[in-house]
Amino acid sequence: MIEIIILALALSMDAFAVAIGLGSKHDKKTKSLALMVALYFGLFQGVMPLIGYVGSKGLLGWVASYSHWLAFALLLLIGIKMIYESLSEGIEESIAKISHKVILVLAIATSIDAMAAGFTLTLLDVNPFIACFIIGITTLFFSWIGVFIGARSGTWLESKAELLGGIILVLIGFNILLF
């Protein structure tokens, strides 16, 4: 279960970083923005790993003998992508108006990594529904907090959160490969 909590924390860092960026751009109605961001991001971050899990169940028979290598590669790629993105400008810089459509697109974009990480759930001894619920709730919480942090302090924490999440995913990948 500790692996799921760590995975949830790592996956939520991408959404957390975007939430900080959104909060820093929005000077009014921070509570309503935080609620909207948290609900969208938490929902998508919780559902996408389940889609990845279901997809991987069909592939598991074909890749069972090297599934740990596949999980390692996916987590390594996702982690490296997050580390790279932490060193570049955030997507929130080009957003002029925050709307439901914008938040929906950002929720999908930040949860693609979670769908890929869902493939690794077949290798862990956990209930996938509970795992996805934990991932969703964790993301909901961090997204909520991220908007308020961004509104009060700007974007200084944004890249650090994404960098930490990327490093954690890489370490989880090595853990799956080695143990």
Q: What is the mean pLDDT of residues 49-77?
A: 79
For residue 55, give the amino acid letter: G
User: 120: which 2 tokens?
Assistant: 């690794």
d(CA 79, CA 173): 9
Alpha-carbon distances, residue 68 vs 111, 170, 178 (angstroms): 22, 13, 9
Residue 159 has pLDDT above 90, yes or no: no
Residue 19 has pLDDT above 70, yes or no: yes
Residue 155 has pLDDT above 80, yes or no: no
Say how many Å lie between the first and final Cα of the chain, rounded. Answer: 15
What local confidence, expressed as pLDDT, does residue 163 receive?
Answer: 83
What local confidence, expressed as pLDDT, does residue 141 receive?
Answer: 98
Confidence of residue 129 (pLDDT cuts 50, 70, 90): very high
Residue 55 has pLDDT above 90, yes or no: no
Q: What is the mean pLDDT of residues 44-50?
A: 95
Q: What is the mean pLDDT of residues 67-73?
A: 79
Reported pTM: 0.80
Q: When comparing pLDDT for 76 and 43, which is higher?
A: 43
Q: When comparing pLDDT for 179 and 172, which is higher?
A: 172
Residue 160 has pLDDT above 60, yes or no: yes
Calculate what percentage of the chain has a pLDDT beyond 90: 28
